[in-house]
């Protein structure tokens, strides 16, 4: 692999933006059948003379909403497709552009205004070995290469081979494109999963995941952990403070943390990825940057390791040992410490995106496979248009959705960017966090009903997983994995909507929701009246106390250093001149007058202008 500068990226950007977007489009998918709700009802693939065309303006964060340039609230609804490199494999039947066209084809009932595109390191690294579509390192389509296995040239090859066309299609078809850095964990290659009944010839790997799993040719990595080399001591402190070893029946040797060569390589990879991607698509107003798909461990629980399944996934309802399961609930106040570490780790990656594509929407996941969304309002990332993602399937310990994902969506923009279910279990291996096998005993209807109510009652941006025949929960039916028979008929897999996953359901709901805040006005100014600052719950790093705020006018004042004085009057997590202004303007408010000890900055036993001057002196 070679070292490269960003000059090539600038040239590519200039060339790309000068393309004639009115050029003839490729054939789009249009079904001729009378009903797409019945399996097999999409009919044949034909040309369409009614190709969609739209001008997509930049969007902005306005408090907890996404708004268009006219200030109107916009709800983005759509789907996830498979990695476009994955879809280039011959056995899959259809390419990513063909999938994208169907997903945005209103004539077929798909009222999709956003498509999330997962970009997986394994497919980027394909260029390192053989820069042809469909070629993979290790000849394997699940095991992601460890960090550092691709360079800038590989990433540019991936953009030219796959992403450029999808970004252009989004502009043509009126759909925002969310580009997602998507590190995934290959459960089939873990030592712990070797007896799950999957034919080893299906997933070709050169190792059994034993002691030599660290070698680059091995596919045994179960998802790189997100922590930094400098955070190890803090992580161990939290492990002991939160009694994790005893609660989960673990020894210290059971705790897996990444070695420095992996954590540092991950950091370098994230910066390189977003320097190339963000600069390449800067100015494409319809591109959204999803900084990190699903950060895995560490979190408040047992996150397992490359050869040991995570305890939280094995038995999500119970914390073994003498610990109480509720102590490790996502919303337990002690869990914020893990989210704080994540923000500290990932803020530089967010900075890289913003520095290369200033003003475009940015999203990011959270620890435990993007399940810590609850804490996003309390410790926000710094970026002009910062949004957050939430992923949930049928995990009972993330119900009700209103608590874990609805409450944060009332304060920050939340993209509900992965959700779904599988009736009866997956086609590859049993997936208890998808198969409705929890407290409802295999009945998926309660989960489906809750999804509908959640999407109706909260201003979230839902993207169902997955508009594909293989990525589970697969919205279309598929054939036998690894048998090279693709889906049913291979080339016509889109004819078979799946009624045992969100396929048929999302298609119907997508049509019912059409017209609800999905018309986007271009406007003349990019972001009129948009408030893209931190929300009123933001306290920054550190513990929180539900009773720690005092209402002062329109603000929630906070004590930032536990000295009893509420010097963060505007509640933004720090003490600045804005707090002095807010204090002066609300000096006679009930919140101040009823809590004199909290605002007696000059310690004279009275509240007056001298306290304002003392607060000014302290800033």
**Residue 289, exposed/middle/buried by CB under 10 A (0-12, 13-18, 19+)?**
buried
Alpha helices (H) along 18-50: none
What is the chain's alpha carbon radius of gyration, rounded to the nearest angstrom? 25
pLDDT computed for residue 144 by the predictor? 57
Pairing of strands 362-363, 287-290: parallel
Query: Looking at 198-202, 351-355, 511-515, which range is the least confident one?
Result: 198-202
pLDDT band with cut points at 50, 70 and 90 for residue 32:
very low
Of 306 and 385, which is predicted with more confidence? Answer: 385
pLDDT computed for residue 360 by the predictor? 95
C-alpha 385/C-alpha 287 separation (Å) is 13
C-alpha 522/C-alpha 59 separation (Å) is 9
Q: pLDDT tens digits for 519-552? A: 888 876 666 568 889 998 999 999 886 557 888 9
C-alpha 435/C-alpha 395 separation (Å) is 9
Phi, psi of 270 (to 5 degrees): -65, -45
User: Which of the listed ranges 94-98, 121-125, 607-611 does the model predict with the highest average pLDDT?
Assistant: 607-611
Q: pLDDT tens digits for 126-177? A: 876 665 555 555 554 445 577 888 899 999 999 999 999 999 999 999 999 9
Residue 332: name the closest of 229, 440, 247 by CA: 247
pLDDT computed for residue 388 by the predictor? 98
Cα angle: 80, vertex 83, 85; to 5 degrees: 155
Query: Looking at 36-45, 332-341, 368-377, 499-508, which range is the least confident one?
Result: 36-45
Query: Looking at 43-47, 90-94, 136-140, which range is the least confident one?
Result: 43-47
Using DSSP, state whether 410 is helix, strand or coil. coil
Evaluate whether 166 touches 280 at the Cβ level (below 8 Å).
Answer: no
Mean pLDDT of 546-566: 81
Q: pLDDT tens digits for 428-485? A: 446 778 889 888 988 999 999 999 999 999 999 999 999 998 888 999 886 554 444 4
Write out the DSSP string of 265-318.
Answer: HHHHHHHHHHHHHHHHTTT-TTEEEE--S---S-SSS---BTTB--HHHHSTT-
pLDDT at 10 over 90: no
pLDDT computed for residue 469 by the predictor? 86
C-alpha 182/C-alpha 271 separation (Å) is 14
Of 102 and 205, which is predicted with more confidence? Answer: 102
């Amino acid at each position: 692999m070679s070292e490269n500068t960003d000059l090539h990226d600038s040239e590519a950007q200039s060339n790309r933006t000068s393309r004639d977007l009115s050029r003839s489009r490729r054939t789009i998918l249009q079904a001729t059948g009378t009903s797409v709700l019945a399996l097999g009802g999409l009919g044949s693939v034909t040309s369409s003379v009614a190709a969609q065309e739209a001008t997509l303006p930049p969007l902005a964060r306005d408090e907890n909403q996404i708004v268009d340039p006219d200030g109107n609230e916009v709800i983005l609804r759509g789907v996830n497709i498979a990695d476009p490199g994955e879809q280039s494999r011959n056995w899959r039947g259809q390419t990513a552009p063909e999938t994208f066209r169907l997903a945005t084809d209103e004539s077929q009932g798909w009222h999709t205004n956003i498509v999330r595109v997962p970009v997986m390191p394994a497919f980027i690294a394909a260029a390192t070995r053989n820069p042809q579509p469909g070629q993979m390192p290790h000849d394997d389509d699940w095991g992601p290469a460890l960090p550092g296995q691709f360079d800038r040239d590989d990433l540019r090859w991936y953009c030219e081979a796959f992403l450029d066309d999808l970004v252009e299609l989004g502009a043509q078809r009126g759909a925002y494109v969310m580009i997602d850095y998507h590190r995934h964990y290959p459960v089939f290659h873990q030592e712990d999963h070797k007896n799950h009944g999957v034919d080893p010839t299906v997933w070709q790997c050169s190792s059994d995941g034993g002691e030599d799993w660290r070698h680059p040719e091995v596919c045994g990595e179960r998802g790189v952990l997100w922590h930094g080399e400098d955070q190890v001591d803090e992580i161990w402190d939290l492990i002991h403070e939160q009694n994790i070893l005893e609660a989960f029946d673990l020894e210290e040797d059971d705790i897996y943390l990444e070695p420095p060569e992996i954590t540092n390589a991950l950091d370098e990879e994230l910066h390189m990825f977003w320097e190339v991607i963000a600069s390449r698509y800067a100015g494409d107003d319809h591109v959204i940057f999803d900084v990190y798909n699903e950060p895995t461990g560490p979190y408040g629980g047992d996150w397992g390791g490359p050869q040991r399944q995570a305890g939280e996934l094995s038995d999500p309802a119970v914390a073994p040992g003498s610990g109480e399961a509720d102590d490790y609930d996502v919303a337990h106040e002690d869990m914020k410490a893990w989210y704080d570490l994540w923000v500290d780790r990932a803020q530089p990656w967010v900075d890289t995106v913003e520095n290369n594509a200033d003003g475009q929407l940015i999203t990011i996941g959270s620890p435990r496979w993007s399940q810590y969304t609850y804490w996003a309002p309390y410790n926000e990332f710094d970026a002009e248009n910062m949004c957050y993602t939430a992923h949930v399937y049928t995990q009972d310990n993330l119900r009700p959705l209103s608590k874990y994902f609805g409450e944060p969506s009332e304060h920050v923009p939340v993209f509900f960017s992965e959700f779904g279910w599988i009736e009866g279990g997956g086609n590859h291996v049993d997936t208890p966090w998808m198969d409705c096998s929890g407290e409802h005993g295999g009945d998926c209807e309660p989960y489906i009903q809750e999804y509908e109510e959640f999407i109706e009652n909260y201003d979230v941006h839902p993207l169902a997983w997955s508009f594909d025949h293989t990525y589970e929960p697969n919205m279309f039916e598929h054939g036998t994995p690894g048998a090279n028979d693709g889906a049913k008929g291979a080339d016509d897999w889109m004819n078979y909507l799946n009624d045992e996953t969100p396929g048929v359901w999302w298609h119907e709901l997508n049509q019912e929701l059409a017209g609800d805040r999905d018309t986007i006005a271009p406007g003349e100014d990019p972001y009129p009246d948009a408030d893209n600052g931190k929300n009123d719950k933001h306290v920054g790093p550190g513990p929180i106390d539900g009773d720690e705020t005092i209402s002062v006018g329109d603000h929630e004042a906070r004590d930032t250093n536990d000295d009893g004085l509420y010097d963060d009057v505007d509640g933004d997590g720090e003490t600045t001149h804005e707090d002095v202004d807010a204090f002066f303007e609300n000096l006679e408010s009930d919140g101040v007058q009823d809590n004199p000890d909290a605002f007696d900055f000059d310690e004279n036993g009275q509240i007056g202008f001298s306290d304002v001057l003392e607060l000014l002196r302290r800033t």
